[in-house]
Amino acid sequence: MKITAIDSFIKHLPLKKPYTIAYNTYDTVSIVFTKITLANGMVGIGTASPAEDVVGESPEQTLINLESDAVQSFVGADIRSFLSIISDIRKSFPHLPGTQAALDIALHDAFGKWAGISVARFYGIKIQALPTSVTIGIKSLADTLTEASDYFANGFSVFKLKTGLSVEEDIEKTLLLHEKFKGVVKLRVDANQGYTLPDLKKFMDATQSIPLELIEQPLKVDNENELLSLSGEQRSKLVADESLHQETDAIHFAQANRPFGIYNIKLMKCGGIAGAREIGQIARASEINLFWGCNDESIISITAALHAAYGFTNTKYLDLDGSFDLAEDLVKGGFEIKNGLLMINEQPGLGLEWL
């Protein structure tokens, strides 16, 4: 079945409410949408919302790449060779994970629709459902507790607290959230490279009495060796995020002295499902658990991440709440949420419909 068209466009979508992390505040997100049309009329859908400050690619650059002659040269290719096409795309657009992800996701969706099988089923489903965390940005203590209470009332039982501006305030918020939701909510922390090593030690010492699940990317990229001064037990709770983009990073951090005990896979960092699976396979062989994260993204790429995540027995954590932040989206379907658990709908491809 031949590909007859590849079309892309960009949408600037408002967030339901602004949020702050250690190095920025956001109130809108730019998302690139890609449609791959087959000769039988079926359409595969992909998206990209790369974080330029993390991967060096903007959504605007992604759109330019997707409209290039290099991408249009894949028109006429057979969708049955979609994995080979993805390999060629990665060679044509190295270090441009947004471009790769938009096409990778659309090709997976188109192939699954043509074959009549979900992407997850194609690779093999190892997990049926896991809870996702919901993210609380950096805000006042009162607003943090209010937002946490709202999330809990809506059935979510895993909170991820953004930190990294003031370690003292981070400690206070974390301990108060634990006290308020002790025994009914799991807590995670994401410092977004906002700590120094002394900050991190201070935070870990102050919170060692509570069952904190994990701490994402506490130090700046390239400072990973500083983490080796921590105990093995402390490092086992640390998550590689901005430090982990591709399989070579996964191999590097899987050596004998490991600064991180958990890998955060984001399709927008590694270029889509194919890149995510490479990292996941390295982690599985190295007995490293997987944490699947996201940016502010459409349901499309969140669903793609979920299909990839459920193909690995070492997937232990989900943080796939990026589509919850959007005031609007262009599709529906993909997955269901029940009591905070994410479940794919098992329709062909990614199981999405245009609104």
Listed residue (192, 150, 223, 224) closest to 319, CA to CA = 192
Give the residue-averaged pLDDT of 30-57.
97
For the chain, domain boundaries: 3-115, 121-354
Nearest to 323 by CA among 343, 354, 301: 301
| Alpha helices, H only, the chain | 52-55, 59-66, 69-72, 82-92, 97-115, 119-123, 141-153, 167-181, 197-207, 232-235, 247-252, 267-270, 273-285, 299-309
The pLDDT of 127-138, averaged and rounded, is 96
pLDDT higher than 80, residue 171: yes
d(CA 182, CA 175): 10
Confidence of residue 20 (pLDDT cuts 50, 70, 90): confident
Percent of the chain with pLDDT over 70: 99
Please give the pLDDT value at position 355.
Answer: 87
pLDDT by residue (tens digit) across 292-315?
Answer: 999 999 999 999 999 999 999 999
pLDDT confidence band for 23 (50 / 70 / 90): low
249 three-class SS: helix
CA quadruple 112, 297, 235, 181: dihedral sign: negative
Say how far apart CA 304 and CA 311 lie, in whole Å: 11
CA distance 269 to 300: 16
Instruction: With CA atoms as reference, report the closest residue to 191 among 212, 220, 213.
Output: 220
Q: Give the pLDDT score at 80.
A: 98
pLDDT category at 135 given cuts 50, 70, 90 is very high
Of residues 253, 214, 261, the one with CA closest to residue 236: 261
Given this model, what pLDDT does residue 2 score? 98
Residue-wise pLDDT tens digits, 183-230:
999 999 999 999 999 999 999 999 999 999 999 999 999 999 999 999
> What CATH topology corresponds to 121-354?
TIM Barrel (3.20.20)
| pLDDT at residue 24 tops 80 | no
pLDDT of residue 130: 98
Is the pLDDT at 21 greater than 80? The verdict is: no
Distances (CA, A) of 158 to 125, 167, 190, 212, 341: 23, 21, 13, 11, 10
pLDDT tens, residue by residue, 223-280: 999 999 999 999 999 999 999 999 999 999 999 999 999 999 999 999 999 999 999 9
Q: Does domain 3-115 have CATH number 3.30.420.40?
A: no
List pLDDT tens digits, range 44-103. 999 999 999 999 999 999 999 999 999 999 999 999 999 999 999 999 999 999 999 999
